[in-house]
Structure 1
Amino acid sequence: MVNYIPTKSKTILTKHRYTDDWFISKYGMNIYRGCEHSCAYCDGRAEKYRVEGTFGEDIYVKTNAVELLKKELPKIREKAIIFVGGGVGDSYQRAELKFNLTSQVLELLKKFNFPIHILTKSHLIERDFDIIREINEKSGAIVSFSLSTIEEKIAKIFEPDASSPDKRLSALKKFSGACISTGVMFMPQIPFISDNEKSITDVVSASKKAGGNFILPAGMTLKEGRQKKHFMKIIKEKFPGFVENYEMLYKNSGQWGNPDVKYYNKINGFDLNKLNYKICKNYKMPVRIPYEIFKDKIELKYEVAVILAHIGYYLKMEGKGGSSYRKSAFKIQKSGIDFGQRTLLFEKVKIKGAGEFINNLIDEIVNERKCDFYDKLRIIN
């Protein structure tokens, strides 16, 4: 039985120190704490996130979310994509049918002309199709769907109360058909279950067919405590043959719940990260959100940093290093450089230790608003 617990929050927006290069967001929010989708692997269960009560049953509803947002949005003085959702509660879980908070939040974001990124496991997002389309026309929108598999039987075990994979993909197709940027967060890939070549190919193929612009694959974390205990209970019930595998894989998972480092580098004779990359490349699906989707929607400094981080990842997947690009991206994120002011003064931006080639790329991004090297590396639709 689900219990909705109204709460009054002190703040609604979470401001991150840097713009992350996965979701391209610096601001996010949890409208609901706790999630009715009750996904077996959800790390929102972990004690570190301090979600009280029984996860999946006790849903804390921030009834004053809209009022708080009215006060907090005018304080944002930079270009930024607002992430509608968070790590401990889907903004389109069933509670939204009753409280209608996400819809009101979107109306407010439209009024303030902020671009948005929504991540969900629910086809309920189709209810807000018109307003999301309006936001996209005014300032830009990204709609992402989380998938761990497209097999209905597997999804029902691990995501018992989320929309079926077919419904999620159908919703993705609807938004994509309206020229709204869409993609799939293929996360987590469940070890020994949805991390094999066939499963990965099925998800990538279905995402491409539905019209997705990108797909971001990632593994599964399993933190000690409630999260691991709940997940292992399901494994023991449904996949008893994998119990020992999981115990070994997450034996020394640490505070972040990471699997053995060898898992990402080589498992069952292949490199999982590179397998993902190879399959996505075959289907011409970018494994990072493409530049044209976030161009001019975040501060120029963060645009540059995100592009360099993406280049670093692509080079790594191609077996060509890439660490210098990732380091330069981090330096830029930390810096106080005003790229826009430098451009007005016709000054070339130089990042210490980046090298001539990277600095030339930065100059190209800042002054020509493009990056040919990035376009050659990435996978283009």
Structure 2
Amino acid sequence: MSPICWTRNNKDWLIPFVLVFAAQFFSILVNTLFINLPHFILNQGGTLSDIGLVAIAGGAGTLLVRPGAGWLTDRKGRRVVFLCGSIVHALATSSFLLIDHYGPSLLVARALQFAGQAALTGAMMTVASDLLPSPYRTRGFAVFMMTGMGALGIGPFLGQVLIELGTFKLVVITSCALAWLCVGCLLGVGETMGQDRTRGIGMLQLSYNKHLLPIWIAAFAFSLAYSVLPIFLDAFSEQVAAGLTGPYFLVFAVAAATVRLLFGNLPTKFGVNRVLMMSMVLLAAGLLCMNAQIGIAPFLISAIFIGVANGYLTPIFSLLTANRTDQSSRGRAFALLTTLMDLGPLIAGLLFGIVAERFGFSVVFYCAAAVATIGLLLFINRERASERGLLQATAIEG
């Protein structure tokens, strides 16, 4: 398959976008299949602490690679990064075929798998922002972000079916096929970066850039607040009604998919910032609903509120990042955005875990709602400061 030349003047962007969409879906599906990795570790004599070490190894691989991958994406081009990332991810996934016990080799394989995924994901988000023409960018990002939701809905269930049919090795074989399919899709995508490969803005400057800082604040607050759900929901649901975790995430996924597919043009129609602020309010309200002790209804209302919030916020963060950076800095900007989103679960697990042990789950959800509210207020404050600076600069130039 020969690479498709990129052009913004016609719809040649659609075919590479579909290929990148498929590659992103396949790579995330591999990771969701590996949600069943603890099953393999425990069966091989590992402990809960060993499962934690594997998670730490994966997180370390992600955080160590993202900044460098972002720099390479801007300086050397998108294609070299997403191809190298996809190949490392596929090779690391394939290495699990040779691992039959818990040990250092498994930790290294997991770290490399996450490192490849980190480079791959950041580069593909950058490619998507390069490919999408401005009129299609809002809805395009909404569709692109469906990859994670679709994979999350399929992967864990498929993994359980494969384990029941055979062993974890069958999960690994399926994951290998998907990882190499991802590589195959990306071989058909050409370079999307323009010829101007100037140095651009450095990562440190991007982190406190006044036009980007509101995005970083809102994205980190969202990630930190939202992360209490996948971490604590299963244990908390036992206090309300056993077995509600599955229905909760089903309602959540349907709500998020509905707003992305049917109402994805709302940010364009009413303004991106207004929809972002509305979504942060819904996130906080949904977290507060978790504490209503009047039956199952508030629990599922929470799933709708947070599903709608998630449906809008993740594409909006990507959209704002793409719109507020040029091509020479976009790779590093997306690396910074995804790093902040990755930090949320790591900090939430530690911070809110202590809160849950000492004060109970109710306080956890109150604290998470407060984080979302504070993030919204800081976003409004920094966004107004950014707009004032832009108006002053325009007046001076005038």
In the superposition, the TM-score normalised over structure 2's length comes to 0.25
In the superposition, the TM-score normalised over structure 1's length comes to 0.26
Q: Which has the higher helix share?
A: 2
Q: Which has the higher strand share?
A: 1
